Amino acid sequence: MAEMQKAIIYKGPGEFAYEDRPIPEIEDPDDVKVKSYGCCICGTDVNIFATPQKHPCEPGIIFGHEFCGEVAEVGSNVKNLKPGDKVIIDPHGPCGECDNCLAGLPEACENVSSRGVFSDGGLTNYLTIPKKFVYKVGPDTDPALMGMAEPLAGCGCALEKLNVHVGDTAAVLGAGPIGLMFTALLAASGCRKIIVSEPIEYRRKLALEVGATRVVNPDEEDIKEVVKEETDGLGVDHAVEAVAAMLVDCVYLVHPHGKVLQYGDDRLAHPEFPVAYLLANEIEVYGGYLGKYYMRKVGQIIESGVLPLDKILTHVIPASRYQEALDLAASRQCGKVFVSMDL
C-alpha cells in the first residue's frame, strides 16, 4: 500500500479538512516529484471560501494553487532538474493540444489543469507534476516569495498589454496582494505617478512602500478628483482594476485613448457599463487572467529581487493553522500570506 501524507482537502463551500492521501510516485518519465514548501493564499481562495461562494472549486481535491517547493525526484526523461533544486510551478498548465493551445493561446486552454482549484494542488508534502510546468530558481530564493510566482505571472503578463512607458501615469484600484504587485510592477516600469485607491489603511501603507506616489481612501476622497488633480485634469494613461466590480470607475480615470485593465476576479460582479463614454473616448479595455509564457521570467524577477516582493509578503503561517491564514486573508489586514508546509 502507498505511503500516506497529510493534505488540506477542499470539502465544499466554506469547508476544508485535513485528510490522509497517498504519496504519489513518478509514473510518467516526464514527471517531477516535488516536495512542497507550501502555498500563498490567493484572493481566489478567499472567494472560494466566501459565503456566498464567489469562485467555483472541485470538492475532494488537495487545495492550494500558488505552490512551490524543491525537486525530490525526477523521471527518466527529465534532464534539466535534479533533486534539491528549488522550483516554482505553473498550476494552470495548458494541455498543448486543444484548438486554443494550437492557436498560441494557452491561457485560454480548454483543458487547463487548474491544480489546487479543479484538480490536486500543493497543500500537501509531495506531488508529481509534468516537467514542462516546473521552473527552477536560484538556491538562495526565499520559499515564501517563490509562492508568489503564479499571481505575479498573471500580473506581469497582463501588464504587458498596457505597454507602459517610462514617465507614464497610472491608477490602481485596490491594494490587496494583486494591486500591490501591479503597483510594484508599474513603479519598476518607470511610471512617474501611481495613484492607488484602497479602503484598508494597512494596505495603503504597503502601497506607499512598494511604489505608490499617492494613496486614496475611497471612503473619504473621490479617486476621480484626485486623479484630475494629479494629472492636470487629463486623467491617467493606465488604470488597473484589482478589486472586481470597479471597471466603470477605471474607465472614467483614464484620458481619451487611455488603457484599462480588468484583473479583479469575482464571478458575481456584473457592473453596468458606460458604453457611450467608452466609445466616444476610444478607451482600450483589456482583460488579464493567467500568466502564460511568463513563469520563467517570474522566476528571474523573484530570484533577482528587482521588485519589493518581501514587502508585499507580510505573513507566514503554518499549514496546521490554515483557518487562521484564511481568516487573516479575508480580513484584508495583510499583504500576501504564505502557508508553510508543516503537516
**For binding to Zn ion (CB under 5 A), which residues are involved?**
42, 66, 94-95, 98, 101, 109, 111, 151
Omega cis (within 30) before 56 = no
Closest alpha carbon to 210 in 137, 138, 297, 314: 314
CB of 269 to Zn ion, least distance (A): 17
Contact 87, 137 (CB under 8 A): yes
Q: Considering beta carbons, is residue 134 or 195 the nearer one to Zn ion?
A: 134
Question: Please, what's the largest Cα pairwise distance for the chain?
Answer: 70
Query: Using alpha carbons only, what angle is made at residue 187 by residues 233 and 37, rounded to the nearest 5 degrees?
Result: 140
- The C-alpha cell of 97 is what? 493540444
CB of 98 to Zn ion, least distance (A): 3
CB of 277 to Zn ion, least distance (A): 32
Task: List the beta bridge partners of residue 67.
Answer: 39
Q: Considering beta carbons, is residue 26 or 95 the nearer one to Zn ion?
A: 95
Buried-state track 10-29, b at ≥16 Cβ within 10 A, e below 16: beeeeebeeeebebbebeee
Q: Considering beta carbons, is residue 48 or 170 the nearer one to Zn ion?
A: 48
* Residue 9 parent element (H or E): strand 4-12
- The C-alpha cell of 113 is what? 489543469
CB of 12 to Zn ion, least distance (A): 20
CB of 22 to Zn ion, least distance (A): 26
Q: Considering beta carbons, is residue 93 or 211 the nearer one to Zn ion?
A: 93
DSSP class of residue 115? B
Pairing of strands 193-197, 214-216: parallel
Q: Considering beta carbons, is residue 108 or 234 the nearer one to Zn ion?
A: 108
- Residue 330's alpha-carbon distances to 140, 167, 219, in angstroms, are 31, 35, 19
Q: Considering beta carbons, is residue 55 or 193 the nearer one to Zn ion?
A: 55
CB of 100 to Zn ion, least distance (A): 6
Q: Considering beta carbons, is residue 150 or 237 the nearer one to Zn ion?
A: 150
CB of 59 to Zn ion, least distance (A): 19
